[in-house]
Amino acid sequence: MNLPETGSNRGYHPHQLIKQFITSVWCGANKFEHTEVTRQDEVIRQFWGFDKMAGHKSFQRFFKIRSE
């Protein structure tokens, strides 16, 4: 399956976005804004080996959904 690649040198790899998003949903997130809770979790960041965690806007761009 081809995943969309980031167009930015500061972007996140699609695998990271998917892992982080699924982890957020697994932890109870039901809105994009709720992903900010897991974004602040240092244990989750270290568990996955991420240098930094994506914010909710990154997920909105990745899934091409715009909240009003």
pLDDT value of residue 29:
94
Residue 22 structural domain: 14-63
Q: What is the mean pLDDT of residues 17-23?
A: 95
pLDDT value of residue 4:
57
Say if 32 falls within a structural domain: yes
pLDDT above 80: residue 3: no
| Model confidence pLDDT, tens digit, residues 32-64 | 999 999 999 999 999 999 999 999 999 988 888
pLDDT value of residue 1:
55
Say if 6 falls within a structural domain: no
Say if 51 falls within a structural domain: yes
Say if 59 falls within a structural domain: yes
Give every CB contact of residue 29 below 8 A, 6+ residues apart in sequence: 35, 37, 38
Domain count, the chain: 1
- Residue 68 pLDDT class (50, 70, 90 cuts): very low
Say if 5 falls within a structural domain: no
For residues 64 and 44, give the distance between their C-alpha atoms in angstroms, rounded to a whole number: 25
